[in-house]
Amino acid sequence: MSEAKEDVQLHGPLYDMRALGFEAGQVVTVTGAGSGIGKATALAAATSGLGVAAWDINGDAAQITADEIAGLGGKALAITVDVADPEGVARAWDASLALGECPYLVNNAGPPSNDEAPFLTNLERALGSVELVTSQWLARVGDRADSLVNLASVAGNFQGGGKTIQAFYPAAKTGITGYTRYLASKYDGKPRANAVAPGMTLTPRTVPFMQNPAIAENARSIPVGRPGYPEELAAAILFLLSPAASYINGVLLPVDGGWVVA
Ligand SMILES: NC(=O)c1ccc[n+]([C@@H]2O[C@H](COP(=O)([O-])OP(=O)(O)OC[C@H]3O[C@@H](n4cnc5c(N)ncnc54)[C@H](O)[C@@H]3O)[C@@H](O)[C@H]2O)c1
């Protein structure tokens, strides 16, 4: 995990999400919960009263998230899993469902935008894994599935993504948006399916880029004048996931400080 310079503030406030209407004791599965946006989402979910199945390929990182949730008085289980591995995902669902009814899912894990594996390998990891995790979830929970949120990106959906990323990334993120819309229309709203498109968000993955002067200069074109905090993504994800968003289905919500409209 990369460490940021001490003068870079990496986190915003973690808001209490209890007013969003979740039923205490129900469980959300968050993939990639060991770092960045996934970790902030797992912690925010815990403030809402949900139990958290914290999935990550990095089991130690998932365990730290689960321990932090326990420290907040919440319930969480760390699960080590590669979301692109069908047998591993099946075992992870067994473990998650043992924690409690799991009507909520956040598909957040995926390879970084500069990953140099072959195009189709990364499409499988970034896009195929979202379908894999979701279809196994739907097969297990059926119409008790309330809602899911998928992590897309401004890349692919509102912009090309620039010169430093690999081709699979915008392709996968556009695919995730299309798959989200498919889910939103396929199952009569059980589950509702929505996506968020983060702009530049400060996470262990992106902080090293943000310290590059050219990218820092680019960030100044964001109307709110700074990159986003993972907690700001988490708040939007939790809202879309929640009963408070019961009539929102099939949207792609940019959470980017106005970057794509500037
Ligand atoms: N940070 C940004 O600026 C930004 C912008 C647009 C979109 N996103 C999207 O948001 C999501 C989270 O990004 P982040 O910046 O928080 O990343 P991050 O690197 O901080 O965290 C990602 C987590 O996912 C885990 N992970 C990766 N591959 C996995 C796999 N195959 N199985 C299970 N776990 C896996 C990693 O171990 C890590 O803990 C990603 O889908 C990313 O594409 C981020």
CA distance readout (Å), 262 to 108, 200, 225, 256: 26, 14, 11, 10
Residue pair 75/43 in contact (Cβ under 8 Å)? The answer is no
Q: Ligand 1 in contact with 80 (CB < 6 A)?
A: no
The residue whose CA has the least distance to atom 20 of ligand 1 is: 36
Q: How confident is the model at residue 8 (pLDDT cuts 50, 70, 90)?
A: low
- What integer is the mean pLDDT of 60-68? 98
Q: Does pLDDT of 2 surpass 50?
A: no
Q: Does pLDDT of 4 surpass 70?
A: no
pLDDT per residue over 156-194, tens digit each? 999 998 888 999 999 999 999 999 999 999 999 999 999
Q: Which atom of ligand 1 is nearest to the CA of 112?
A: 43
Q: Ligand 1 in contact with 175 (CB < 6 A)?
A: no
Q: Which of 104, 169, 179, 229 is catalytic?
A: 169
CA of 56 to the centre of ligand 1 (A): 10
Domain boundaries, the chain: 22-253
Q: Ligand 1 in contact with 32 (CB < 6 A)?
A: yes
Q: Ligand 1 in contact with 35 (CB < 6 A)?
A: yes
Give the separation between CA 139 and CA 98, rounded to whole angstroms.
16
Comparing CA positions, the residue from 125, 253, 250 lying closest to residue 198 is: 253
pLDDT per residue over 215-249, tens digit each? 778 788 899 999 999 999 999 999 999 999 999 99
pLDDT on residue 217: 80
Q: How confident is the model at residue 6 (pLDDT cuts 50, 70, 90)?
A: very low
Could you tell me where the DSSP H helices lie in the chain? Answer: 36-47, 59-71, 86-99, 119-123, 129-141, 168-186, 207-210, 213-219, 230-241
CA of 196 to the centre of ligand 1 (A): 13
Give the separation between CA 234 and CA 140, rounded to whole angstroms.
26
Integer-rounded Cα radius of gyration of the chain: 17
Torsion of CA 83, 88, 90, 96, to 10 degrees: -80
Q: Ligand 1 in contact with 196 (CB < 6 A)?
A: no
Q: Ligand 1 in contact with 189 (CB < 6 A)?
A: no
The residue whose CA has the least distance to atom 30 of ligand 1 is: 82
Residue pair 33/65 in contact (Cβ under 8 Å)? The answer is yes
- Both tokens assigned to 119: 């195009």
- Both tokens assigned to 100: 């409690």
> Per-residue b/e over 133-149, b at no fewer than 16 CB within 10 Å?
bbeebbeebeeebbbbb
Weakest mean pLDDT among 16-25, 140-149, 151-160, 237-246: 16-25
Give the separation between CA 243 and CA 246, rounded to whole angstroms.
5
Name the superfamily (CATH) of residues 22-253.
NAD(P)-binding Rossmann-like Domain (3.40.50.720)
Q: Supply φ then ψ for residue 25, to 5 degrees.
A: 95, -20
β-pairing verdict for 76-80 and 27-31: unpaired
Secondary structure of residue 138 in the 3-state scheme: helix
Q: Does pLDDT of 3 surpass 80?
A: no
Q: Ligand 1 in contact with 134 (CB < 6 A)?
A: no
Pocket test for ligand 1, best of 31, 39, 153, 176 (most atoms within 8 A of CB): 153
> Is 169 one of the annotated active-site residues of the chain?
yes
CA of 229 to the centre of ligand 1 (A): 14
pLDDT per residue over 79-136, tens digit each? 999 999 999 999 999 999 999 999 999 999 999 999 999 999 999 999 999 999 999 9
pLDDT on residue 162: 85
- What integer is the mean pLDDT of 132-148? 97
Give the separation between CA 228 and CA 231, rounded to whole angstroms.
8
